[in-house]
Structure 1
Amino acid sequence: MYLLRRIKTLITESSQRRDYKTAVISSNNNELSTTFDPQKPPPEISEREKEILTECWKIVQQDVAKVGIITFVGLFETHPEVHEAFMSFRAENTSELEYNAILRAHALRVMGTVDKCIYRLDNREKLRDLMTELGIRHKNYSVKIEFIDLMGPQFISSIKPHLVAMWTDEHEKAWENLFKLMSYYIRKGMCSI
């Protein structure tokens, strides 16, 4: 199994160097390996999922700063390599980041982006443009493309406690699909440079 994963990684690295139009995402911690093909259509979100996202977001917004901080601290704890990518607070201990003003500001920007995406689900072009530009900016910051898919699961685990009374598999799927859509356009932007 290890040898198969190692061969896959070597092929992936070679493919990335040859062709930036296809990005291969992999996470050692989750043993996730997905190929991004920008020629494929973006993920779809159903009308019911839009309703769920809007309903949930109204509740999450009441504690949006806290959710943002919990999301990033959790991400840094489960994926220390992501913490290392942030120059502003790379040297800080993860347990102390909860009080870091720079992290708080970044977390609020991310929550603002989620907000914009939820309210642009009916205007796919605006959502696409917003997230593609975000991908270009992240590429310019030298963010590794494999980090992009890590945010969704961490965000979902951060909002569940706020929505425990209403949370179902349908809610989980709606949020997963939103982050798949966001990630699709971010990766597309990162691959366009």
Structure 2
Amino acid sequence: MSLFKRIKRSLTGTKQTGDNKSRVMISKNNEIITTFDPQKSPPEISEREVEILKDCWKIVKQDVAKVGIITFVGLFETHPDVHDAFMSFRAVNTSDKEYNAILRAHALRVMGTVDKCIYRLDNREKLRELMTELGIRHKNYSVKIEFIDLIGIQFISSIKPHLETVWTGQHEKAWDHLFMLMCYYMRKGMCSI
């Protein structure tokens, strides 16, 4: 059993499944192609969705490290090519404790970004700045723009178990819209350099 599966199983006791398709990804001859129009308006998030996100985030934050690790383990399992995009993971033997520490640290940074975005929904300009700058940094790290949309799908499947008593289609839509907005500005940043 791979390290990813062992980590996930130890954290959740279950095997994660989910829809791994992204609406802006197209598989063609084993190649991923992204369609992105930086001139298109950013996705919208309603005031009700902002309320849902903030309420849900209060619950998710209680297990934020676990959610972050499960998100990345799931991402690396479903898209192994993404793993190699992380420079900090390339040189580390996957059986090392150091790998787990690097994975946890990165997962917590991403969860911190989600936290900032949720609270910047009241000031969309600050959210735009944060995610555009993050996109520029990721472009400098040679991350493929095709990988940007994948994290939202994995994140949503990772938080569902923590919110199963309240989870509805409205919740899924709100989280999907948040990640669409975050990814929009991140891709825009990646396209700006």
The alignment's TM-score, normalised by the length of structure 1, stands at: 0.81
- The answer to whether the aligner puts 1:26 opposite 2:25 as a matched pair is yes
CA 46–33 in structure 1, closer or farther in 2 if over 3 Å, else same: farther
Q: Name structure 1 gaps, 5 residues minimum.
A: 1-24
- In the other structure, the counterpart of 1:119 is 119
Identity across the alignment (%): 81
- The answer to whether the aligner puts 1:104 opposite 2:104 as a matched pair is yes
Cα-to-partner distance string for 1:147-181 (whole Å, 9 max, x where unaligned): 00000000000000000000000000000000000
- In the other structure, the counterpart of 1:191 is 191
CA 143–42 in structure 1, closer or farther in 2 if over 3 Å, else same: same
- In the other structure, the counterpart of 2:66 is 66
* Greater share of helix: 1
CA RMSD of aligned residues (A): 2.3
Spell out the pairing of 1:119-158 with structure 2 (5 A cutoff).
119-158=119-158
- In the other structure, the counterpart of 1:41 is 41
In structure 2, distance between residues paired with 1:142 and 1:34: 16
Q: Name structure 2 gaps, 5 residues minimum.
A: 1-23
CA contact (8 A) 2:68 2:107 kept: yes
CA 104–165 in structure 1, closer or farther in 2 if over 3 Å, else same: same
- The answer to whether the aligner puts 1:175 opposite 2:175 as a matched pair is yes
CA displacement at 1:66 relative to structure 2: 0.5
CA contact (8 A) 1:68 1:107 kept: yes
CA contact (8 A) 1:128 1:185 kept: yes
SS for the counterpart of 1:122 is coil
Cα-to-partner distance string for 1:112-157 (whole Å, 9 max, x where unaligned): 0000000000101000000000000000000000000000000000
In structure 2, distance between residues paired with 1:34 and 1:102: 28
CA contact (8 A) 1:27 1:146 kept: no
In structure 2, distance between residues paired with 1:163 and 1:98: 31
Q: Which runs of 4+ in 1 moved over 6 A?
A: 95-99
CA 48–66 in structure 1, closer or farther in 2 if over 3 Å, else same: same
CA displacement at 1:89 relative to structure 2: 1.9
In structure 2, distance between residues paired with 1:191 and 1:33: 15
SS for the counterpart of 1:28 is strand
CA 27–109 in structure 1, closer or farther in 2 if over 3 Å, else same: farther
| Stretch of structure 1 that moved more, 81-90 or 127-136 | 81-90
CA 117–77 in structure 1, closer or farther in 2 if over 3 Å, else same: same
Spell out the pairing of 1:63-102 with structure 2 (5 A cutoff).
63-90=63-90, 92-93=93-94, 100-102=100-102
Opposite residue 76 of structure 1, the aligned amino acid is F
CA contact (8 A) 1:138 1:190 kept: yes
In structure 1, distance between residues paired with 2:65 and 2:52: 21
The alignment's TM-score, normalised by the length of structure 2, stands at: 0.81
CA contact (8 A) 1:131 1:186 kept: yes
